[in-house]
Amino acid sequence: MTDDETDAALPAGTRAWVLGSGKIGHEVNCLGVARELGLNPEIREVRPRLLFQGLAPYGPVDPRDRLGRAGGALAAPLPDLVFASGRTTVPYLRHIRRAGRGRIFTVFLQDPRAGLGVADLIWVPEHDRLRGDNVMVTLTSPHPMRPGVLNAARADIDPRLAGLPEPRVAMVLGGHSGSHRFEAADVTALCLIARDILEAGQGLMITPSRRTPPEVTVALREAIEASGRAAQAFLWSGAGDNPYTQILALASAIVVTGDSVNMVGEAASTGAPVHIYEPTGGHAKMTGFLDNLVATGAARRLDAARQPGWSRQSWTYAPVDATQSIAREVVRRFRLFRQS
């Protein structure tokens, strides 16, 4: 191990928790950083009673979950380091920081919406406004799609994907959110995108998310069948494991819907050209994020109806991935915390 690697490592035996909010997007951010640090964190699910849930992020922790209390979410043995994300976890992390009395280092990923005192280190994406001495800012979100993970996926190809022709193109689908929705025009556009990929002779790998409306996947399946090229395509039906990691790893290009910072960021970490389809709606913060990502050269916005030949376009860029730099900042601040 080099001196640089030693400096970027946590002390041996460091024990970590991830506070689970029940939302996979929050836990993915935390697990991405934790695993980059070589940790195997214990996930502590936070399920406060209704009153305390409603008071988050400003209210107190549910008293039955106070730090070290037997049977509670924060029962012993206690960790050295805690990651959290999501509104429900904010009172818990704030409580850990205070009750731990300088023994437990705390990290919050995303804007806690409750001030800088929530955690020792707060990470936010560039399009959020929160700034402070304990705030770190990057363009994209942390995630578990590390180079080693992607390389391992390429070396052990899922049989459902192995027979697809190359080059293979991924379609990564989000769904309804507070600022975006998938209307009939979006369904039509996504079917057109899928058809263009198939007609170009490329393999098509489609992975919906939990938020993807059923009518989107039904329409895509019908479009694939109508194309007469079903042997070129895989659409995850929800049965069996979702080969999401392998789909990203095998993709020569990625089409991703522009309703999720996490999904778009994971796509841009692969080094494959990223085509962003923006569904109906929008939000200034998301638009700003996409603008900045396009400016890096990693991604381009996609309107298949007005961009003939888009599926044959290719370009190169250095993968956009903030996970390692966030992990290094955690180590730096953790060491200073311990020294003090």
Total of domains in the chain = 2
Check whether residue 299 and residue 246 sit in a common domain: yes
Instruction: Write the CA distances from 79 to 50, 82, 186, 236, integer angstroms.
Output: 27, 7, 46, 38
Question: Which residue range forms the structural domain that includes residue 244?
Answer: 147-312
Phi/psi of residue 150, nearest 5 degrees: -65, -40
Check whether residue 110 and residue 35 sit in a common domain: yes
Check whether residue 42 and residue 121 sit in a common domain: yes
CATH number at residue 50: 3.40.50
Residue 308, CB-side half-sphere exposure with 13 Å CA sphere: 0
Whether 66 is covered by a domain: the verdict is: yes
Per DSSP, what are the bridge partners of residue 44?
A: 19
Instruction: Write the CA distances from 235 to 103, 131, 137, 219, 272, integer angstroms.
Output: 48, 41, 35, 11, 20
Whether 227 is covered by a domain: the verdict is: yes
Task: Write down the pTM of the prediction.
Answer: 0.91
Check whether residue 234 and residue 255 sit in a common domain: yes
- Count the helices and strands in the chain (H runs, E runs): 12, 14
What pLDDT, on a 0 to 100 scale, did the predictor assign at position 8? 65
Check whether residue 83 and residue 169 sit in a common domain: no
Whether 317 is covered by a domain: the verdict is: no
Check whether residue 100 and residue 10 sit in a common domain: yes
DSSP assignment of 275-312:
EEE--EE--HHHHHHHHHHHHHTSEEE--GGG-TTGGG
Neighbours of 224 (CB within 10 A): 22
List the beta strands (DSSP E) in 133-261: 135-138, 168-172, 180-181, 203-207, 233-235, 253-257
Check whether residue 170 and residue 293 sit in a common domain: yes
Check whether residue 37 and residue 63 sit in a common domain: yes
CATH number at residue 237: 3.40.50.2000
Check whether residue 199 and residue 57 sit in a common domain: no
What pLDDT, on a 0 to 100 scale, did the predictor assign at position 118? 97
Neighbours of 231 (CB within 10 A): 12
Of 133, 136, 141, residue with least CA distance to 321: 141
Whether 65 is covered by a domain: the verdict is: yes
Whether 238 is covered by a domain: the verdict is: yes
Whether 318 is covered by a domain: the verdict is: no
Check whether residue 200 and residue 124 sit in a common domain: no
Check whether residue 169 and residue 92 sit in a common domain: no
Whether 52 is covered by a domain: the verdict is: yes
**What is the three-class DSSP state of 197?**
helix
Check whether residue 135 and residue 17 sit in a common domain: yes
For every one of its 340 residues, what pLDDT tens digit does the chain have, with 9 covering 90 and above?
344 444 568 999 999 999 998 888 889 999 999 999 999 999 999 999 999 999 999 999 999 999 999 999 999 999 999 999 999 999 999 999 999 999 999 999 999 999 999 999 999 999 999 999 999 999 999 999 999 999 999 999 999 999 999 999 999 999 999 999 999 999 999 999 999 999 999 999 999 999 999 999 999 999 999 999 999 999 999 999 999 999 999 999 999 999 999 999 999 999 999 999 999 999 999 999 999 999 999 999 999 989 999 999 999 999 999 999 999 999 999 999 999 8
